[in-house]
Amino acid sequence: MNAPLRNPPLPGDANRFDTASAAQMEQLVMDLRQMYHERNAALEEVAAAHHEALLRLALAADYRDTDTGNHILRIGYLSEALALLMGLSSEAAAMLRKAAPMHDIGKIGVPDAVLKKPGALDPEERRQMNEHAAIGAHILGRSRIPLFQMAAEVAQTHHERWDGHGYPTGLSGEAIPITGRIVAVADYFDALTMDRVYRRAFSVEVALSMLAGERGRSFDPAVVDMFLAHAPALVALRERINDSGCAVESLAGAPLLHVRRFLAEFGTAPAASPRAASEMTT
């Protein structure tokens, strides 16, 4: 027996159905888009809050060691500039600017008697001081946020040496992540040119000479050569940060200045083939 024929839909009814469906789909897409933007905004706010909290821990550690918060700001911008000059992408270099200031966060776990000792450290005190790299990596490394993973890498490796005689694991050469190699040079130069509890600041000229002397020993020769080749621009960048009256919040938010543009003012062009953030551990 043949199935009964159904009345065909009227053209007007079909048009009304299509119009209603399209309107519903459009509203659904708009709602999903709004939810997506709200979710991303919430995640960015949480990440920024976490970043600022960790920066304040880094600032606390830095105050215990140097009595100034400008050091971690300068390290961030010097590291970004060096990263650009070494051919890293703008995105990767900007991430390093935010990660580098947390390099010594592990000093929060070093006793004051060791951290502020004006003279040479004995072997046990040196062991305690050297633990700050592993402590910092432990504080930062449990996060799945890429910024904090990079910061953990920097904390773990910025005291490794090109010749393999650094700590905490004795990495050498290019086995040391490029992030750690860059921050090591920026940290060394900046530390030499500031007052410490055990000595007065060295002049820029002396600091550059000392940096050159560690080429191929403590530091990656390529990074040292890049720093020395562009020293006038990097020293000027350091002084700009000193004169800016900036606060630690600037590292968690909008940058104080456009580093690539600042370098260009000195006729310093970053390398032409930038490497992406995913390549920074090679």
Predicted pLDDT of residue 269: 66
Terminal Cα distance for the chain, rounded: 75
pLDDT of 279 strictly over 50: no
Predicted pLDDT of residue 139: 86
- Alpha-carbon distance values, 1 to 4, 5, 6, 7, 8 (Å): 9, 12, 15, 18, 20
Residue type, 184: A
DSSP letters, 81-114, are HHHHHTTB-HHHHHHHHHHGGGTTGGGGGS-HHH
Q: What are the structural domain ranges in the chain?
A: 47-279
- Averaged pLDDT, 87-93: 94
Average pLDDT of every residue of the chain: 82
> Active-site residue numbers?
107
Long-range (24+ apart) CB contacts under 8 A made by 21-30 are none
For 177-235, the pLDDT digits (tens) are 999 999 999 999 999 998 776 678 899 999 999 999 999 999 999 999 999 999 999 99
Token code pair at residue 114: 């060791």
Predicted pLDDT of residue 11: 54
pLDDT band (50, 70, 90) for residue 276:
very low
47-279 folds as Hypothetical protein af1432 (1.10.3210)
Helix (H, G, I), strand (E, B) or coil at 142: coil
- Alpha-carbon distance values, 30 to 19, 20, 23 (Å): 17, 15, 11
Taken as a whole, the chain contains a residue count of: 282
Closest CA to 114 of 189, 187, 64, 54: 64
Please, is 258 exposed, middle or buried when counting C-beta atoms within 10 Å of its C-beta (0-12, 13-18, 19+)? exposed
